């Protein structure tokens, strides 16, 4: 008796084979391509702390003041798609108690704008798309607005915009932010010249010089970052900047423009960073482990079931009458 496979058996077998082929594609093809810096990023980070700042109206440095740093990172999707890079526009303001009430970046104590362009896979800076760091410098280093994917337990070079150069950050072990674990990196910046600024000579003990181009010096007593290990997202950041003015060729600081022992992510910024890191990790886990494993299990079951049904088959319809004999 002839037998042939049912449509159900063929469907089960085909679907099972498809899922078995899909599993390694998800793990080895889709997942690596999911590890790319996003192009549509839109994140606002807020730092708070106390310190000193130079009041230009009163021409003196005020102490024990509440300072606020607001940094917004907005992805330029059009430029990113055209270049194949991650193009992020960065706007940062530093506000004193006076300027924070104005809610206008143009009137803040300090306002800077940059364009950060990176290779989406490696997170390395790329010189294209009108990248614009502060002070006309060229971006370099391994980390700035984020770390690379799959952060290693080693030291990294971090780009410091105020310095206009890189700073070594040292791995300090694991740490938690809002109950979520990341890797911690810390570093400091010794006092270095970081540009110049035209000011009245009297401010830097040059009263007879009228306007002078004073030297601007920068140091940092404590850079502190906690980073998500898998995605490189910054969960917590703190900085201890000090910016001063010296007379041209001078050896001593004459004016403190800004100083704080610690400006750090506020609670809202920390929680938002942790939530985004969790979502990113869940998506990567789905394409790298959960979905491939599920595809293997389901594909194996369906393929076996379909193969069994194909082998067993079912009787073919039709055929002639059986021959009979008689006396």
The 10s digit of each residue's pLDDT in 18-44 is: 555 555 655 554 445 568 899 999 999
Residue 142: φ, ψ to 5°: -105, -20
98 and 191 share a domain? yes
pLDDT at 183 over 90: yes
Residues 112 and 134 in one domain: yes
Number of independent structural domains in the chain: 2
Judge whether 237 lies within some domain: yes
Q: What is the pLDDT of residue 322?
A: 41
Cα separation of the two ends of the chain: 28
Instruction: Answer whether residue 323 is part of any domain.
Output: no
d(CA 296, CA 293): 5
What's the pTM value of the predicted model, to 2 decimals? 0.79
Q: How sure is the predictor about 326, in pLDDT bands with cuts at 50, 70 and 90? A: very low
Give tens-digit pLDDT for 251-273: 999 999 999 999 999 999 999 99
- Per the structure, the complete domain to which residue 193 belongs is given by 35-265
Residues 20 and 82 in one domain: no
- Please check whether residues 303 and 168 belong to one and the same domain: no
204 and 62 share one domain: yes
Residues 294, 181: one domain? no
> What are the pLDDT digits (tens) for 80-124?
999 999 999 999 999 999 898 888 888 898 999 999 999 999 999
Give 15 or 182, the one with higher predicted confidence.
182
| 137 and 15 belong to one structural domain | no
Q: Which of 225, 303, 279 is nearest to 45 (CA)?
A: 225
Answer yes or no: do 17 and 141 share one domain.
no
Residue with tokens 């810096």: 37
Residues 6+ apart with CB under 8 A from 115: 76, 87, 88, 89, 90, 129, 130, 131, 132
On whether both 24 and 43 belong to a single domain, the answer is no
Same domain, 63 and 153: yes
């Amino acid at each position: 008796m002839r037998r042939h496979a049912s449509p159900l058996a063929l469907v089960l077998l085909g679907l099972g084979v498809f899922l078995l082929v899909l599993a390694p594609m998800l793990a080895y093809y889709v997942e690596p391509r999911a590890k790319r810096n996003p192009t549509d990023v839109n994140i606002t980070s807020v730092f708070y702390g106390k310190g000193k700042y130079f009041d230009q109206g009163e021409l003196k440095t005020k102490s024990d003041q509440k300072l606020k740093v607001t940094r917004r990172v907005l992805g330029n999707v059009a430029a990113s798609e055209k270049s194949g890079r991650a193009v992020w526009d960065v706007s940062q303001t530093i506000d004193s108690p006076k300027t924070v009430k104005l809610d206008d970046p143009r009137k803040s104590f300090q306002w800077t704008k940059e364009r950060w362009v990176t290779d989406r896979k490696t997170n390395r800076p790329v010189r294209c798309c009108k990248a614009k760091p502060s002070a006309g410098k060229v971006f370099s280093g391994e980390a700035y607005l984020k770390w690379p994917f799959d952060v290693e337990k080693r030291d990294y070079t971090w780009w410091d915009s105020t310095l206009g150069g890189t700073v070594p950050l040292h791995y300090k072990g694991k740490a938690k932010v809002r109950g979520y674990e990341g890797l911690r990196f810390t570093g400091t910046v010794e006092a270095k010249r970081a540009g110049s600024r035209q000011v009245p000579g009297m401010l830097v003990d040059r009263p007879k010089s009228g306007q002078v181009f004073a030297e601007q010096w920068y140091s940092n007593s404590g850079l502190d970052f906690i980073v998500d290990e898998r995605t490189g997202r910054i969960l917590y950041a703190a900085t201890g900047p000090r910016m001063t003015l010296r007379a041209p060729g001078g050896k001593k600081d004459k004016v403190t423009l800004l100083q704080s022992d610690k400006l750090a992510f506020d609670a809202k910024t920390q929680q938002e960073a942790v939530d985004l890191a969790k979502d990113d990790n869940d998506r990567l886990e789905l394409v790298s482990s959960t979905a491939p494993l599920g595809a293997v299990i389901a594909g194996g079951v369906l393929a076996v079931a379909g193969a069994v049904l194909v082998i067993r088959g079912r009787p073919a319809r039709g055929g002639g009458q059986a021959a009979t004999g008689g006396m």
